[in-house]
Amino acid sequence: GLRTDNLGALGTRLLLRRMGVEEASPAFLAAAVRRCSRLMPQAASRCGPLQPRVHCYAEYSVELGGRLLEGTLERTNGLQDDTVPRPRWLRPVALPISAFVERELCAEFQLLEAACEVFARSASGGPPAPQAARGSMALAVTGASCLSCACAASQFRLLWPGVRLSVGMICRRGDAVPVSQAPAMGLATASS
């Protein structure tokens, strides 16, 4: 089997595209960096290796139950406080490398779970009808998502099929190769 936990920026983008998750627009990514300073690429440390903090930012506009929900969400990887609830909507995937990492603490996973909570809470009078939700959510993350987070994005799409999800990666060492440029560079894409 495949023994990896991350496909890198290009591989993750290709996988997400194959799962129906769009690539976030460059305009959204530029605006996200302006609105959320934690997305700004950081210089590498000269003091030795550091455990990188992954930051995730999203903007959503979703109509559900006759209400328009618009807003932003931000999350950082790791345990931020003792009150982080166990996932209710999405399920993390244990990966063969770093098997003891709690994938529900990834920034992207926490943000997608929080979005599910926001959308579900908005349903007035009764359980939410995710199939009735319509709109979009764009997400920016500082680095390539792990395979568990890519699976969480797929779960989100299946749970909220009318919400168009797009993901963009802001790499710390510069911009990653956009999927649209992969064929010109001789790289295979999901559609080739």
9 pLDDT higher than 50 = yes
Q: Tens digits of per-residue pLDDT, 108-151?
A: 999 999 999 999 888 666 666 788 899 999 999 998 888 889 99
164 pLDDT higher than 90 = yes
169 pLDDT higher than 80 = yes
**Dihedrals phi, psi of 74, to nearest 5 degrees:** -135, 140
User: Which band of pLDDT confidence, cut at 50, 70 and 90, is reported for residue 173?
Assistant: low
The 22-23 sheet, strands edge to edge: 22-23, 163-169, 134-141, 55-64, 67-76
**Residue 77 burial (C-beta neighbours within 10 Å; 0-12, 13-18, 19+):** buried
Q: Is 125 helix (H, G, I), strand (E, B) or coil?
A: coil
Please give the Cα distance from 116 to 88 (Å, whole number). Answer: 9
Per the DSSP assignment, residues forming a β-bridge with 57 are: 74, 140
pLDDT score recorded for residue 73: 97
Per-residue tokens: 99: 């098997």
Q: Stretch 175-183: mean pLDDT, rounded?
A: 45
Longest Cα pair distance anywhere in the chain, in angstroms? 55
Question: pTM for the complete prediction?
Answer: 0.81
pLDDT score recorded for residue 160: 95
Task: Name the region of 48 (left: φ>0; alpha: ψ -120 to 50; beta: rest).
Answer: left
pLDDT score recorded for residue 87: 66
pLDDT score recorded for residue 42: 59
pLDDT score recorded for residue 2: 67
Boundaries of every domain in the chain: 8-39+53-185
pLDDT score recorded for residue 39: 83
Q: Tens digits of per-residue pLDDT, 12-37?
A: 999 999 999 999 999 999 999 999 88
Q: Is 68 helix (H, G, I), strand (E, B) or coil?
A: strand
